[in-house]
Amino acid sequence: MGEGKRERGELAGTHPPLPNPSPTRGEGLWRWRSVWGRCPRWLKVMLLALVVVFALDRAFPLPPPGGAASQSLLVVARDGTPLRAFPGRDHVWRHPVALDQVSPRYLEALLGYEDRWFRWHPGVNPLALGRAGWQWLWHGRVVSGGSTLTMQVARILEPTPRTLVGKARQMLRALQLELHYSKDEILALYVNYAPMGGVLEGVEAASRGYLGKPASSLSYADAALLAVLPQAPSRLRPDRQPAAARAARDKVLERMRGVWRDADVDDAFDEPVIAQSLRQPLLAPLLAERLRKDAKGAARLDTTIDAATQETLELLLTSRLGALPPRVSMAALVVDNKTLEVRAYAGSADFADSGRFAFVDMVRAPRSPGSTLKPFLYGLALDEGLIHSESLLADVPQSFGGYQPGNFQQSFHGPVSVAEALVKSLNVPAVEVLDRLGPPRFVAALRRGGLKLDFPTGEQPNLSVILGGAATTLEQLVGAYTAFARAGMSGQPRYRPDDPLREQRMMSAGAAFIIRDILESGGEAGGLGGRTLQQRPGVRRGVAWKTGTSFGFRDAWAVGAADAYTVGVWVGRPDGTPNPGFFGANVAAPLLIDIFTAIDKAPPAPRIAPPEVTQATICWPLGLRFDPAEAALCHRRAVAWLLHDTAPPTFPDRLRGGEPRYAYEVDAVSGLRVSAECREGIQKRPRLRIAAARWPAALEPWLLPDLKAKAEPPAWDARCPSAPDPAGGLRIVGIRNGEIIQRPRPDQPAVIRLELRGGRAQGGEVYWLINGRLAARQAARQPFIRRLEAAGRVDITVMDDFGRYDRVSVSAR
């Protein structure tokens, strides 16, 4: 009895039970068989079916959507307009589109006509198959199809023969599709891959190809037409068989009564079927080719291009082809200043003209920028405190360590301001400023601002860089010019919506404001500050632009910034062959003006100078603020833009040492100049001490009579030894000032032969100028011979590298 209780206590759990030993492999298999044997037969059938389905699905996977189409690519504008289509290996055009980008009318017509039970069946509709089979048996021909949309997608992914075996395989694939995809995903496959006739597949490709509109804008008639088109793509092509296409469309419209309003259906019946001829989209082709390399298998690439702006740009370029010599190309780039997104891109003049190097993308090609870097030079010099907008510069023949630049027109203007030098694109003043700033420093500042310059191997930055002695691209140049519309911040142009925003500080906001105002107004500070505005010809207020021409007329440039856009234009031969007579102002600038006129209709917004920008009256030759107490030192006044309220002085004289301020004495009675060296008779007379300002020695020959009278002290008193002649001993002989030169005959020009005299005139080189234009640079000992072709006044000037000069004026009759 006690043993029994003990056994029962153990069984009741009084003591912990011993762990069960792990079943052997044979015991586990026996248990599974036991469980399987107790399962109902229907469950066994279902489980076996699932295993078979899974095995078949793994053994026969679905083909990838599109098959060979996975290699096709469509590049589209920001609104979805196709720019260029790159077909796959099957040479078919597909325009990928999401369901929410397709008109609901099309989806209604598609489901209402093709498969109204699409949302409910598992991929195969037995009722539809039964109806189609009965009609086939009764009529002896196919009256209606039994294929669902899912079955049609299966046939698109894996074409099958139109046999019972092929239909069975199609049905199995349809079931397989329903296992792997949602209803919307299946519908999206049909919308994008349904055959639409010719090389078109998908509703978006058909809508744009035949109807010239996106699938989101389909009318009721359009929707019905495109819904029925895949039934017989070749027989119903609206561009070739409009009557058959209309009949099929009307059949769909009739069936849509009850889904659509009768009034809408009736109106749709009245619409004719008019389709345009198929043509490959070809906008911004070189940009599409460029982006294609980074597609990484994508079927569609969205860009920032505005289709209307792109088309306008290409039309403007095409309209100029007739005026260009053979093999000359053009390139242009339009950038939105707010987002840095590229709105239009033309890498060549005509993509269809191989004779003009159609496939060479000149937006990306390194070329000499000519004078287009000058605005950045003056802007950076402003930031460095070297200049203000009216600083005095010398546009005269000068030598900078052996480098002797000349102007494009081979003429010189004498004393000029920074603003005038920039607007007229004068070379010598730009080199003078760069010499003060330093070429390496300038190039480094440009690089920090995003503008990289390329130099020949082994070459270092030098003074020629400001005149085009380096290379850059139109893309980088336009990105840099955006700084003038973006408070000094330049940026890298963006071609795709997901491209990151990359911007750098090119110059201060104040410097960018001043340079932009100079380029907009033509050099006058009155655009915002009160002086008379002198607009540059052909451009409305609001566009700050600059031209450039590379050495040998190889490249003609024009780049401009406005409130909304920055635009760059390049004209030339991609192979670098010179084009004599083609320069920025006469070739590229007119095109730039037309582009702005066509794409930017908004009036310029009023601009307010940044707090660090002020205006003040400054004086030449010292370059400082006007001081009423020193009015005698102010030979000419000008209103200047100042940065940080600073008026830097004129650069030190390169040719003559000493301070720009000096003083001299005059006789209080006669007003003639005197000094302590004068004879005793005049030393006791009352004298006045006069403060004076010197002009740079290189500019003295260029002073007009009114300035010369203010700049030069009065003549010496006869009783005083005279100071050295300001001409430094140089004297022109062979002709007298004011002489009249007679022509031998009316048809024969006069010839003059001039020589130099003076103690130091016989060594080195001198410059001969006729009416301010450089006529010759030759040895001082060599006679200067000139034919006077035209009648009238002729001003002849000679000067050397030390600022010594002489000038005579004659008349030819």
Three-state secondary structure readout of 414-430 = EEEEHHHHHHCCCHHHH
Number of C-beta neighbours around residue 130 at 10 A: 11
Judge whether 114 counts as a catalytic residue. yes
Q: Which two three-digit tokens encode residue 723?
A: 């100071």
CA dihedral sign, ordered 213, 214, 219, 222: positive
Of 72, 103, 114, 204, the active-site residue reads: 114
Distance between CA atoms of residues 561 and 516, nearest Å: 8
Q: Which two three-digit tokens encode residue 712?
A: 């030069």
For 635-682, give the DSSP string: SEEEEEEEETTB-PPPPPPSSS-S-SEEEEEEETTT--EE-TTS-HHH
Q: Which two three-digit tokens encode residue 617?
A: 């009256």
Number of C-beta neighbours around residue 291 at 10 A: 20
Number of C-beta neighbours around residue 18 at 10 A: 6
**What is residue 74's DSSP assignment?**
E
For 531-558, give the DSSP string: SPP-PPTT--TT-EEEEEE-GGG-EEEE
123 burial type by CB count under 10 A (0-12 exposed, 13-18 middle, 19+ buried): buried
Q: Are 640 and 615 in contact (CB under 8 A)?
A: yes
Q: Which residues contact 280 (CB under 8 A, 6 or more apart)?
A: 84, 85, 93
For 216-260, give the DSSP string: GG--HHHHHHHHHGGGSTTTT-TTT-HHHHHHHHHHHHHHTBTTB
Strand partners, 560: 545, 567
CA atoms within 13 A of residue 125's CA, in its CB half-sphere? 22
Judge whether 371 counts as a catalytic residue. yes
CA atoms within 13 A of residue 248's CA, in its CB half-sphere? 22
Q: Which residues contact 469 (CB under 8 A, 6 or more apart)?
A: 368, 462, 463
Distance between CA atoms of residues 699 and 396, nearest Å: 7
Q: Which residues contact 234 (CB under 8 A, 6 or more apart)?
A: 197
Number of C-beta neighbours around residue 509 at 10 A: 18
Q: Which two three-digit tokens encode residue 742?
A: 């007679």
For 204, the enclosing helix (H) or strand (E) is: helix 203-206
Distance between CA atoms of residues 231 and 195, nearest Å: 9
For 173, the enclosing helix (H) or strand (E) is: helix 164-180
Indicate the angle between helix axes 427-437 and 374-383, nearest 10 degrees.
40
Of 103, 348, 371, 550, the active-site residue reads: 371
**Which positions are catalytic?**
114, 371
